[in-house]
Chain A
Amino acid sequence: EAGVVQSPRYKIIEKKQPVAFWCNPISGHNTLYWYRQNLGQGPELLIRYENEEAVDDSQLPKDRFSAERLKGVDSTLKIQPAELGDSAVYLCASSFGQGGSYGYTFGSGTRLTVV
């Protein structure tokens, strides 16, 4: 079974440009998460979806960040326009329900560099 798939793996863009990240969760996992991980730090939650509904987006900078999860499967995270401080690894994870004792399954992330 394929794990959580993310693309692209790396992205370098100039500031003020738009960028998008894509995530395909594990089949059957109805909950999907986007985390941001700054260099040398732990991941921090940006947004959580249950099926196609965003149930926790309190940490998402809504002035420049947007996300969608059409049909409750794949998800896209977008930044427009990107700023230098957005350079980080963006991790996608999925779980069945809220994860409970099984935790989440993570993808390999997208490393974004804004220059």
Chain B
Amino acid sequence: AQTVTQSQPEMSVQEAETVTLSCTYDTSESDYYLFWYKQPPSRQMILVIRQEAYKQQNATENRFSVNFQKAAKSFSLKISDSQLGDAAMYFCALNNAGNMLTFGGGTRLMVKP
């Protein structure tokens, strides 16, 4: 079985500042993929960033980057220069090769102007 844990139910950040959302996971597989999804009030899950477990280099997408620590099974998301539009629920997710996408419980991010 695979599990994903997000220990921060809520986070707050000042506009233009940087915030880091935490995620830990557990899997017995060596080949897997990790994702961060954003869910605004519209409810649609939007893919923010992805990381292949076999890649040591941390993924980066514009203002979003991850800190992937495979040995520690940790996958945190850093948002730089936070914007009001970043306010949403953020979900960490794990996809084993041949398995299904498993989500964490989510972190609500609030951005203060």
A residues neighboring B (CB under 8 Å): 3, 33, 40-45, 48, 56, 89, 91, 93, 98-109, 111
Point out the residues of chain B lying under 8 angstroms from A56, CB to CB: 100
Would B100 and A48 count as touching, CB distance under 8 A?
Answer: yes
A48 vs B99: C-alpha distance in the bound complex, in angstroms?
Answer: 10
Knowing A40-B106, A100-B33, A100-B95, say if A89 contacts B101 (CB, 8 Å).
no
Interface centre among A3, A42, A44, A45 (most CB of B within 10 A): A42
A3 vs B50: C-alpha distance in the bound complex, in angstroms?
Answer: 19
Q: What are 30 A-B contacts with C-beta separation under 8 Å?
A: A3-B44, A33-B101, A40-B106, A42-B4, A42-B91, A42-B106, A44-B103, A45-B100, A45-B101, A48-B100, A56-B100, A89-B43, A91-B43, A91-B45, A93-B45, A93-B101, A98-B95, A98-B98, A98-B99, A99-B95, A99-B101, A100-B33, A101-B52, A102-B50, A103-B33, A105-B47, A107-B44, A108-B43, A109-B43, A109-B44
Would B97 and A106 count as touching, CB distance under 8 A?
Answer: no
Nearest CB of chain B from residue A97's CB, rounded to whole Å: 10
Point out the residues of chain B lying under 8 angstroms from A103, CB to CB: 33, 35, 37, 47, 50, 93, 95, 101
CB closest chain-B residue, reference A108: B44
A44 vs B43: C-alpha distance in the bound complex, in angstroms?
Answer: 15
Knowing A89-B43, A108-B43, say if A101 contacts B101 (CB, 8 Å).
no
Interface residues in B58-98 by Cβ distance below 8 A to A read 91, 93, 95, 97-98
A40 vs B103: C-alpha distance in the bound complex, in angstroms?
Answer: 12
Would A106 and B45 count as touching, CB distance under 8 A?
Answer: yes
Of A3, A101, A111, the residue contacting B43 (CB under 8 A) is A111
A107 vs B33: C-alpha distance in the bound complex, in angstroms?
Answer: 21
Q: Is B42 an interface residue (CB 8 A)?
A: yes
* A-B complex: 3 closest residue pairs judged by Cβ atoms: A42-B103, A106-B45, A108-B44
Nearest CB of chain A from residue B33's CB, rounded to whole Å: 5
CB closest chain-B residue, reference A41: B105
A25 vs B113: C-alpha distance in the bound complex, in angstroms?
Answer: 37
